[in-house]
């Protein structure tokens, strides 16, 4: 999986650099048989991303890690960007989406703080604690509160890109196959289905953390729920790769649009 993502990123970079070469080579005046044509100025390659907010539960927060400030997935994501982008952790241990949950993210100060953070990108990974039998109402209630959560961020930060993330895989550490602390696999299946449908309905990007962690039990700590430092790094890399790919695709579209515009000018000048 990681190799495929790497090759995909490399291929995107290659395409971008090829197009840059073609466009830079054509940025000066081009002589036609009739008139000298001045092409439009070449678009600057500059990311508008300055702040990233990681909204989530204990998996985002970094619970059970020896040093969550350096090992949590948001911290490891920040390291991958160096000093170019600010990444802030708004995870809350035990938080759930549903407003009726024992600890709803709606009632946490981290939600109001994340809303005022002025993020350019928001990574939303909630749902694990909603799968607990004590919290779970039904798919309809979960969907209603999840959509309401998204719309709250969209209203407060209309220019921010919101990535929905499927919760990571949960592993059983018991002989009978049940999960600790009343987590439920059947509830989680419904949660994943709902989040996928919301991403499609709202046309929001989706990162499937569940699938990429499905065959990596070694990335988890003793409880089968919380990733260890390697698992958090794996999540961070998955998120990083997706964002880089999406940014490169955006750049590529810009270059292609520029080339089309330039070609139209040249054709019209003939």
Start-to-end Cα distance in the chain:
49
Token pair, residue 39, equals: 């092409």
Burial pattern 184-203, b for ≥16 Cβ within 10 A else e, equals beebbebbbebbeebbeeee
pLDDT one-digit tens code per residue, 88-132: 999 999 999 999 999 999 999 999 999 999 999 999 999 999 999
The pLDDT assigned to 83 comes to: 77
pLDDT one-digit tens code per residue, 166-206: 999 999 877 677 788 889 999 999 999 999 999 999 999 99
Q: Which of 41-45, 123-127, 233-237 is predicted with the least confidence, judged by mean pLDDT?
A: 41-45
Beta strand pairing status for 161-166 and 121-125? parallel
pTM for the model stands at: 0.79
Q: What stretches of 92-208 show up as alpha helix (H) in DSSP?
A: 109-115, 139-156, 185-202
CA distance 119 to 164: 15
CA distance 41 to 258: 9
Structural domains for the chain: 51-169+178-248 (3.40.50.1110)
Q: What count of residues does the chain have?
A: 270
The pLDDT assigned to 39 comes to: 36
The packing angle between helices 139-156 and 185-202, to 10°, is 40
Q: DSSP 3-state assignment of 23? A: helix
Residue 47 predicted with pLDDT over 90: no
- Mean confidence (pLDDT) of the chain: 83
């Amino acid at each position: 999986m990681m190799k495929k993502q790497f090759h995909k990123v490399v291929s995107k970079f290659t395409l971008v650099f090829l197009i840059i070469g073609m466009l830079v080579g054509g940025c000066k005046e081009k002589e036609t048989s009739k008139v000298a044509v001045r092409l439009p100025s070449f678009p600057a390659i500059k990311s508008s991303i300055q702040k990233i907010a990681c909204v989530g539960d204990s998996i985002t927060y970094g619970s059970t890690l020896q040093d969550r400030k350096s090992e949590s997935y948001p911290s490891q994501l920040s390291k991958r960007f160096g000093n170019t982008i600010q990444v802030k952790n708004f995870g809350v241990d035990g938080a759930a989406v549903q407003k009726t949950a024992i600890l709803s993210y709606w009632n946490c100060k981290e939600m109001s703080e994340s809303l005022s953070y002025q993020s350019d990108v928001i990574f939303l990974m909630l749902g694990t604690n909603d799968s607990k039998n004590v919290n779970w109402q039904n798919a309809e209630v979960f969907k209603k509160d999840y959509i309401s959560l998204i719309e709250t961020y969209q209203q407060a930060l209309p220019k921010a890109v919101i990535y929905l993330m499927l919760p990571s895989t949960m592993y059983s550490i018991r002989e009978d196959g049940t999960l600790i602390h009343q987590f439920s696999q059947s509830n989680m299946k419904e949660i994943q289905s709902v989040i996928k449908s919301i991403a499609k309905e709202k046309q929001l990007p989706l990162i499937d953390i569940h699938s990429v962690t499905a065959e990596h039990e070694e990335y988890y700590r003793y409880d089968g729920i919380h990733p260890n430092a390697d698992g958090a790094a794996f999540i961070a890399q998955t998120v990083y790769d997706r964002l880089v790919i999406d940014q490169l695709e955006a750049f590529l579209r810009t270059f292609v649009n520029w080339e089309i515009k330039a070609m139209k000018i040249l054709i019209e000048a003939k």
